[in-house]
Structure 1
Amino acid sequence: MEEISWSDFEKVDLRVGTILTVADFPKARKPAYQLTIDFGSTIGVKQSSAQITVHYSKDELIGRQVVAVVNFPKKQIANFYSECLVTGFADDDGNIILTTVEKKVPNGARLM
């Protein structure tokens, strides 16, 4: 793994946001949801596609705070534009477990 500088790390804008809506994404190649996430008044609401259908139902995602990269360019996935990258870790089978916060923090709070 290549080492990076502190200034490299500072370029990645990791923020917490609350999931507002979750929809199935049938046009995605792998099972995924379309998420709408509130990152607070400064960043606003962004959408993301996330392959998290194995461990999470749509209902349990609503209101959950997640950590996402908010300064990537938009990425088109089928007919959908993903505006942020929701982060997570793969389990033993390669299915994603979301990166979340232990306690509620303000939407838009930046990872320090």
Structure 2
Amino acid sequence: MEEISYEDFAKLEIKIGTIKEVDIVEDADKLLRLTIDVGDEKPRQIVSGIREFFEDPQDLVGKQCPFLVNLKTRNIRGLDSQGMILAIGGEDTFSLLHPSKEVPAGIKIN
């Protein structure tokens, strides 16, 4: 495992976001397009490969999760992804992280 400096870690901006909309990305088995509120003026779009873990992706609407929001925008299957959802994952395990109670969208994780 490569270690990073505290200064590098401090550059990461992680905020709690509320998932407002979920759409299946056509012709992509694993991708969902999430519209999230992270306290910005406009909602953000996140494209994530988590589709296989949800029988009904609409169950994600209203969930609060941590998002890396200062990741450089990346085009995935023609869609701009403006960050990354943070989750627990491994070969046989997947789970979303979430606060133990509802918090304001956009609150920073320190």
Q: Mark yes or no: TM-score above 0.5.
A: yes
For 1:56-95, list aligned pairs within 5 A: 56=54, 57-93=56-92
Using structure 1 for the length normalisation, give the TM-score: 0.86
The list of structure 1 runs, each at least 4 consecutive aligned residues, that deviate by more than 4 angstroms after superposition, is none
SS of match in other structure, 2:9: helix
Paired position in structure 2 for 1:107: 105
Could you say what the CA RMSD is over the residues aligned between the two structures, in angstroms?
1.7
Paired position in structure 2 for 1:12: 12
SS of match in other structure, 1:26: coil
Paired position in structure 1 for 2:48: 50
Using structure 2 for the length normalisation, give the TM-score: 0.87
| Alpha-carbon separation, structure 2, partners of 1:96 and 1:25 | 20
SS of match in other structure, 2:52: coil
**Shift in alpha-carbon separation, 1:96–1:32, aligned structure 2, 3 A:** farther
Query: Which ranges of structure 2 fall in alignment gaps of 5 or more residues?
Result: none
1:3 equivalent in alignment to 2:15: no
Paired position in structure 1 for 2:27: 27
| Alpha-carbon separation, structure 1, partners of 2:71 and 2:63 | 22
Q: Which amino acid aligns with 1:25?
A: V
